[in-house]
Structure formats: structure tokens, C-alpha cells
Amino acid sequence: MMIFSAFTMHIIEGYISSIFLLEYGKGMLLFDSGCINDVKRIEDYCRKVLQRSPHDIKLAVVSHMHPDHSGGAATLRSKYGIAIAAHKDVDLWYSGWGGALQHKLDCYMATGVARRNKRSLERILFKPIIHPDYLLHDLEVLPGFEDWAVLHIPGHTLHDIALYQQKEGLLYIGDMICNVRGRMFLPLPVLFPVRMEQSYDKLAALDSSTILMAHGGVEQSDNASALFLAMKEQLKAPPTPLMRKIRRLSVFSPEIKRQGL
Ligand SMILES: [Zn+2]
């Protein structure tokens, strides 16, 4: 738990990713929605730890469509009326037959990650189209939580967003950096390396001091820019066999054709 002037931040350990729940006086804000089986974890955290109803969550932000980020969103909305905010192009990612195939492959690969993390097998299949209540654009603010700015940071997918709270120097970056036991890795896959470089530059230009990662938790840094620029350097290294394999399994979204990959 971390206490800031306007809110208290809680970290819920999800099935695969860390989920950030921010408690404001006016209601709660969620980054991201976790896997579909994390709805139970979010419910339990609200009821048992915070002694609050999940109905008090007013907005769930989906940073991108991967199963450990978007999987819980539609269920949270249908059970508790929680609005969903995501980049305007989010529902194109898993559209059509190519998108349907990619969605299945991503669920399969996410299950592999859970297994490597020694999690027991749970069902994570979810509906691939989420129909966000709020379609976000670059440099907008979050509806109802206007202290958070939205940044479009494509590269991992085409529709990734980061969230920046200038007052506290807080930056939620979704999958842009994966912290594994203190070592910083690129997300898998990086589908659009040139866009990814630009996205790291964009993040490096911010004055952030606390980085919130879906994989690896919280990183306090007095030189966050250097961290993002080091990630940019990593893009130049030759891909490992695992990176090549994940990439081969990640090229079926119609959005990839649209981008001309
Ligand atoms: Zn991802």
C-alpha cells in the first residue's frame, strides 16, 4: 500500500500480472483488469482487505488487449457496472478470423507464463472484444480521474497506453518493461520496434519518479529517463530464440497487416 495526497494505491497480485487499485474519496480506479480469473481476486481484495464493495470501482483501464490485462474487464462491468476505458483501436486487435486465432494463441501463451510462474491451471479464456465505454486518445485525461493523462505508446501492440500522474510523478506502463528479479526486460513480443523506440522516447521525456509495472511491481527511480533509454538500447540486440518463437506466434491480428508489418 502506498499513500499519496489524493489517493491510496494498493497492489493486487493477479494470476499473471500485478493489478493496481487506487482508492480515491470519490471511488476507485483500476489498472488493469487482470485475467478473467482475477475478477475473484479483485472482489476478495475489495471485500476482505478494504471492506468495500467492488461496485465502488468507477473505472477499469485496459492498457492493451492481452489476456492478463483485458481479461477481467467485461466481467467486472457486467457484475458491478464498472466502466471500461481503453485506446480507441483496442477492439480491432482481436477482430476477424486472424484476431480470433491470435486471441486463442495469446490465451495459450499466457497459460504457459502462469505455468512457468508455478501457478495452478485456471481457465483464462475471455471474450476478445470488450466495447470500451470510453475510447481514449493520446494525451487525453481519464474520465472522472482527470489527474491521470493517457499516452499512446505502441510497439508491444498497436494500441498500448501508459498513464501518467504528473503531480506525484507516477507512471503506469503496462508491459513496457518486465522486471524479473530486478532485471529489466522488453515485453514479449515487440511487434513494431520502430514505434517502440518512439514510445520509450516519449516515456523518457516525462518527469516520472515512480514506475508502476504490470510485471514486476513498483520501481522508484530518480532517473527514470535513463531506464527507458536503456530499454530502447535493448531493442538493438539480436532476438533470442524465445523472442523469435513468441513473435512467430503473434502476427495474426488484422492490425498487423494494417500497419504493414
Ligand atoms: Zn502484453
Omega before 189 within 30 of 0, i.e. cis? yes
At 127-150, the pLDDT tens digits run: 999 999 999 999 999 999 999 999
How many structural domains is the chain composed of?
Answer: 1
Question: 258 pLDDT band (50/70/90 cuts)?
Answer: confident
At 166-202, the pLDDT tens digits run: 999 999 999 999 999 899 999 999 999 999 999 999 9
**Is the confidence at residue 260, as pLDDT, over 80?**
no
CATH number for position 225 = 3.60.15.10
The answer to the question of residue 194 being in a domain is: yes
Distance 156 CA to ligand 1 centre (A): 7
At 107-126, the pLDDT tens digits run: 999 999 999 889 999 999 99
DSSP code of 3?
A: E
Distance 19 CA to ligand 1 centre (A): 13
The answer to the question of residue 93 being in a domain is: yes
The answer to the question of residue 159 being in a domain is: yes
List the grid coordinates of 177.
518493461
Q: Which domain holds residue 155?
A: 2-252
The answer to the question of residue 6 being in a domain is: yes
Structure confidence at residue 261 (pLDDT) = 59
Distance 72 CA to ligand 1 centre (A): 14
H/E element, 161: strand 161-165
The answer to the question of residue 257 being in a domain is: no
The answer to the question of residue 34 being in a domain is: yes
The answer to the question of residue 51 being in a domain is: yes
The answer to the question of residue 258 being in a domain is: no
